[in-house]
A and B are shown apart, each in its own frame.
Chain A
Amino acid sequence: MTVIVERTTPASRAGAVVAVLLIAALIALPWTRDAGLMRVIVEFIALLTLAQMWNLLAGYAGLVSIGQQAYVGLGGYALMVLADDLGVNPFLAVPLAGLVATAFALPTAALVFRFSGGYFAVGTWAVAEVYRLLIANTGALGRGTGRTLKAVFPLARETRELATYALALALGVTTIVAIYLYLRSRLGLGLMAVRDSEPASQSLGVDVFRTKLAVYLIAAFGTGTTGALIYLNLLRISPDAAFSINWTAYTIFIVVIGGLGTLEGPIVGTVVFFLLRELLADYGSWYMILLGTLAVVAMMRYPQGLWGLVVDRWDLRFFPVQRLVRGVGNVSVRER
C-alpha cells in the first residue's frame, strides 16, 4: 500500500500566489515615497514578528513567558552599543543585536527553566525587571534617561528610512519563512509532539529539554533583532520604554485574538490590533481596557482565536504544517 502524505492544501497553493503578489507590492512601495506608510509597515512587521516569537514559545513549545520584553530591551540597547560605541554599521548591527540578546538568553534560561507553569511566567518577568534595573542604573547606557542612536546622523533621512524599511521587510519575510520551514521539518514535528504531550514525546526519543531550550533561544534571537529594529526606527531608547510590559501585553493580545498555535493567527491578530488602534486612538486607557477584556473573553470562549474559528469552519490552511496521511495500496511513503 502506498501511503501518500499530503503536506500542502489547495488554499496554501493559492495563498502562496497571494503572498508573492503581496511581497512584490511591499517591495514596490518605496517608489510611492509615502514615508508615513512605510513607518507603519515597519511597526506592523515589528509587532508581527514579536507575536510570531511569542506564539512559537507559548503556542508550540508550551512556554508561557511574560518576560520577552527583556529581549526587546536588550536588542535595542545592543544596537546602541554596537552602532554608537563599537562603530558597527547600524543596519548590520540589527541582526548582531539579536545575537547579543540570544547570548543573554542562555543564562536566563538556566534560571527560569527551574520553574514551570505560572511560576515560569512570573520568573521570566522578574528577570526582565532585573535587566531593566541594571541598565537603568548604568551610567554608560544613559541610566533612566536613555540614549539616542547617533550612528545614523550622517545619513540622509530618506536613505535611513528606506534602509530601515528594507530591513523590516527582510526580517518579516525571513521570520515567516523560517518558522514555516522549521515547523514542517522533523524538528518542528518534534516540537509539536512536545506541545501535545511531553511524556509521550519523551518516550519516543524527543529531547524535550533541548527542544524547549532551542525554541527559547530562537525566540530570544527573533525578539532581540526586532527590538533592535524598533529602536533603529524610533532612534531613542529608554529603559522604561524598552523593557515595558506593554510589549508583552500587545503580543499576547495579538496572538490570543488571532489564534494561538497557528502561523496565520498572529498575522490576523496584528491586523486587528492596528485597526483597533486607529479606531480608538483618542481613547487612551479605554483602548487597553478593551484589549484586555477581549483577550480575557477570547481565552475563555474562543481559545482558538479568530483564525482558529476560520479553520474550524472552512478548513483553510495557508501555512500547512500538518501531515495528512491517506492510505492506499502497499506501505511505501511518498510525500507531496
Chain B
Amino acid sequence: MAWLDTIVQGILLGGLYALFATGLSLIFGVMRLVNLAHGDFSILAAFIAVVAVQVLDLNPLLALILVVPVMAVLGYGLQRLVLNRLLGRGILPAVLVTFGLSIVIQNGLLETFSADSRRLNPGGIETASLPLGGGLAVGWFPLLTFGVAVLLLVGLQLLIGRTALGRAFRAASDDGGTAALMGIDNGRLYGLAMALSLAIVAVAGIFLGIRTTFTFSSGPDRLLFAFEAVIIGGLGSLWGTLVGGVILGVAQTTGARLSPGWGVLAGHLVFLAVLLLRPAGLFSKPRRLDS
C-alpha cells in the first residue's frame, strides 16, 4: 500500500514536471532555442510571488494573477530585445547568452533575497489530504497541481491546434522562412512563444514554491528535470511531455523511497536508460533530436 502511495505521489509530481517541461519544449519547437535560464525564471517567479505576498498580503495562489502577466511581459521583452538577435547564428550564442542569464538571475536573487530558503504558504491547503479509500490518501495540493497542469496542457493543445496563432507556431516550427512568406512576423511570434513559455513556467514556479522550499539556486535542477521529462516523453508531443513528467516523477519518488539520497539520481538513471534504448523518446513524432 505504501508503494501505491509512492506511485501516486510520483504521478502527481509528474504533473508539475510536465508544466516545467512544456514551456521548454514549446520554444524549442517553435524556434529551436534551448533556454538554459528556464528553471531560473520559474524561481524568479516564485520570489516575485514572495514579494507580492509580503507587500500585498495576498494568498500565493492569488499572486498568480500578478506574477504570470509580469513574467509573460518579461519573456516577450527578453525575446524581442535580446534572444531574437541570436537566432540564425548557430546554437553557441543562444546557449551562452541564456547560460549567462542563468548566472545573472541566480546571483541577482542571492543578492536581493539572501541564501535563505523560502516557501510560499497558501494557508493550509497544501497539507490537507483527500482520502481515496483503502487507506490511501492523496494530498489536495498535489492533486490541484496535477489538475492545473492537465488544464494548461489542454488549453495549450487547443491554442496550438485550433487557433490562427497556433497554426503560425506550427508553420514557423516547420519552416520559418516560408512562414514569413505567408505574412507571419517571426520576431513577434517568437516573442509570444517566449511570453507563453515564461507564463507557464511562472505557474510551475509558484506551485513548486508552495509544495517545497526553494532558494536562489533551485533553478538549474528545474531545468534538468524539465529537460529529462521532455526527452523521456519525446519531442513534439504535448501529451508525451506529461507522460515523460509522470515517469520522471515516479522514478524520483520510488528512488527516494529506497533511500533518501537516491530520488533525483533514480530520475537521472531512468532518463539515461530512455536515452540509450529509445533516444527519440517514448511518444515522439518523427523529428530529429537536434537544433
Binding site for B on A (CB under 8 A): 58, 62, 64, 66, 111, 114-119, 121-123, 125-127, 129-130, 133-134, 136-137, 245, 249, 252, 256, 260, 284-286, 288-289, 291-293, 295-296, 299-300, 303
Contacts and interface: CB of A to CB of B under 8 A. Distances in A.
A121 B97 contact: no
Nearest to A125: B224
Given A136-B261, A285-B111, A129 B224 contact: yes
Interface residues of B, number: 49
A135 to B, nearest CB: 11
A138 to B, nearest CB: 10
A285 B110 contact: yes
B140 interface: no
B290 A115 contact: yes
B96 A115 contact: no
Contacts of B110: 285
A245 B220 contact: yes
The 10 closest A-B pairs by CB, nearest first: A118-B34, A117-B291, A292-B103, A292-B104, A285-B107, A116-B290, A296-B100, A117-B91, A288-B107, A133-B265
Contacts of A126: 224, 227-228, 268, 271-272
Interface of B: 28, 32-34, 36, 82, 85-86, 89-97, 99-104, 106-108, 110-111, 220, 223-224, 227-228, 231, 259, 261-262, 264-265, 268-269, 271-272, 275-276, 279, 289-291
B223 to A, nearest CB: 7
Contacts of B279: 114
A296 B103 CA distance: 10
B36 A121 contact: yes
Given A285-B111, A295-B100, A296-B97, A129 B268 contact: yes
A50 to B, nearest CB: 16
A133 B264 contact: yes
Given A285-B110, A288-B103, A292-B100, A118 B268 contact: no
Contacts of A245: 220
Contacts of A296: 82, 96-97, 100-101, 104
